[in-house]
Amino acid sequence: MSGTLRISLIQMNIEAGNPEVNFARMEARLKDAVVRQPKPDLIVLPEMWNAGYALDRIGELADPDGERTKAFFSDFCRAHGVNVLAGSIAEKRDGGVYNTIRMYGRDGRELADYSKIHLFRLMDEHLHLQAGDRLCRFELEGVPAGAMICYDIRFPELARKLALDGAKLLFVPAEWPHPRLHHWRTLLQARAIENQMFVVACNTVGVSGKSNFFGHSMVIDPWGEVIAEAGEEETILTAEIDPRLAEEVRGRIPVFEDRRPHLYQ
User: Residue 206: which of 14, 9, 32 has the closest Cα?
Assistant: 14
Does residue 196 form part of some domain?
yes
Q: Please, which residues have CB within 8 angstroms of residue 118's CB and are 6 or more apart in sequence?
A: 131, 151, 152, 154, 155, 158
CATH of residue 86's domain is 3.60.110.10
65 within domain boundaries: yes
Q: Report if residue 258 sits inside a domain.
A: no
* Res 1 pLDDT > 80: no
Mean pLDDT, to the nearest integer, of 172-198? 97
40 found inside a domain? yes
Is 126 within 8 Å of 119 (Cβ atoms)?
yes
- The phi and psi torsions of 164 (rounded to 5 degrees) equal -65, -30
Number of domains in the chain: 1
Please say if the pLDDT value at position 95 is more than 70.
yes
Q: Is 247 designated active site?
A: no
262 lies in some domain: no
pLDDT, one tens digit per residue, over 128-157 is: 999 999 999 999 999 999 999 999 999 999
From 70, 92, 116, 168, active-site residue: 116
User: Within a domain: residue 263?
Assistant: no
150, 168, 175, 202: the active-site residue: 150
Check: CB of residue 22 under 8 Å from CB of residue 90. no
| Dist. CA 48–CA 123, nearest whole Å | 13
Q: Assess if residue 140 is contained within a domain.
A: yes
Please say if 150 is a catalytic residue: yes
The domain in which residue 109 lies consists of 5-252
DSSP 20-81: HHHHHHHHHHHHHHHTSSSPPSEEE--TTTTTTT-GGGHHHHSEETTHHHHHHHHHHHHHHT
Active site residue 77: no
Q: Is residue 152 part of a domain?
A: yes
